[in-house]
Copies of this chain bind each other. A is one copy, B any other.
Amino acid sequence: MVQQKQRVAIIGSGNWGSAIATIAGYNTMRHKDVFEPTVNMYVYEEIINGEKLTDIINREHVNTKYLPHARLPDNVVAVPKAEEAARDATLLVFVLPHQFILNVCKSLKDAIAPGAHAISMIKGVDVANHHISIYADVIEKSLGIPCAALSGANIANEVAQGLFSETTIGYRASQRGLVDYYQKLFDTPKFRVGAIEDVSGVSLCGALKNVVAVGAGFVDGLEWGGNAKAAIMRIGLMEMRNFALEFFDGVKPETFTETSAGVADLITTCYGGRNRKCAEAFVRTRKPFHVLEAELLNGQKLQGTETTKDVIEFLESHGKVDKYPLFKTIYDICYNGLDPQQLTERL
């Protein structure tokens, strides 16, 4: 049997999207038996110094706006229309801000190849009308194709520099036969890919870690030291896992405690991330989060506080908030004026 080669399209080209494109481009060339070598990358068109960003990328092979210090492989081609980038693609990599997902999926519907499948690197959860969804499910539902998730301790700039990292792919039972493609597309000696049959767990790790990171940032602001910070992280990891097990089917507890998407990404985020940073500044300055976001994040968005709000409103609508005392305390500090000094009192 001659197997069809996978045609890869990357839908998104921010900091993380560009970093993962460097890996995907490298690997499609390395595994020509499995992949068509050209990797289209959907780039939302912007004008940079009078020139189109797609033109700059395709001439210089650098995303000068979002990942200026890394060279993209020549076989990664910037395409300014999502449906053109995804034309006949069999393997779609979604890596764009969640607010654009639904519109982009709509435009892709008629472009993708029969039997196509997807993998999502989108962070966060979609909460509406007392219902919570991961974005892999949103994509799956919108396009009618199976969608895996990739998440891990993956600071984009470090990955792009070729520093050692691990990551985790959470896949669906229907994607078991496709895991080998995902591994081949992303695994390198410096970017090690693990896989686990748990798309919800992997996705929720990427969303809920940001809630815990806000708590870790409070500890830093309070100057409570290493013991307290590790305690908040441990308790947070348990609440993350319990939340996933309570509200999603097929979640594996070990996704949280054993994988790069789980415990490792939590560590990276609680020591290095932007949520931690703003939460620390919140305690020190008592400025509102939207002010700190503007002052400290250089245009990036603060996900932790928003996810905290989504999660607590969802839990309250289900009468389950009391089972998540750390999440609730973080919420009350962010939104209800609770003194950060009271961070551990309900734990």
Contact = CB atoms under 8 A, between A and B. Distances in A.
Given A233-B264, A234-B264, A257-B257, A227 B153 contact: yes
Interface in A115-174: 152-155, 158-159, 161, 163-166
A68 interface: no
Contacts of A159: 227
Contacts of A158: 224-228
Contacts of A228: 158, 163-165
Contacts of A166: 227, 231, 234-235
A312 interface: no
Interface in A212-230: 224-230
A78 interface: no
A347 interface: yes
A265 interface: yes
A231 B347 contact: no
A163 to B, nearest CB: 5
A346 to B, nearest CB: 11
A27 interface: no
Contacts of A254: 257
A257 B263 CA distance: 9
B263 A263 contact: yes
A168 to B, nearest CB: 10
Copies of the polypeptide in the assembly: 2
A93 interface: no
Given A163-B224, A165-B228, A238 B258 contact: yes
B154 A227 contact: yes
Interface string A58-74: 00000000000000000
A contact patch SS: helix
Contacts of A345: 189
A301 interface: no
A265 B257 CA distance: 14
Given A164-B344, A224-B164, A268 B230 contact: yes
A88 to B, nearest CB: 34
A237 interface: yes
A230 B189 CA distance: 17
A225 B165 CA distance: 9
Q: Which of A153, A189, A233 has the most CB of B within 10 A?
A: A153
Interface of A: 152-155, 158-159, 161, 163-166, 189-190, 192, 224-231, 233-235, 237-238, 254, 257-260, 263-265, 267-268, 271-272, 343-345, 347
15 contacts: A152-B227, A154-B227, A158-B226, A163-B227, A164-B343, A192-B231, A192-B347, A226-B271, A229-B267, A230-B267, A233-B267, A257-B258, A257-B263, A267-B267, A271-B271
Given A158-B228, A234-B263, 14 more contacts: A153-B226, A155-B226, A155-B227, A161-B225, A165-B228, A166-B231, A189-B345, A226-B272, A229-B268, A230-B265, A231-B260, A233-B267, A237-B258, A267-B267
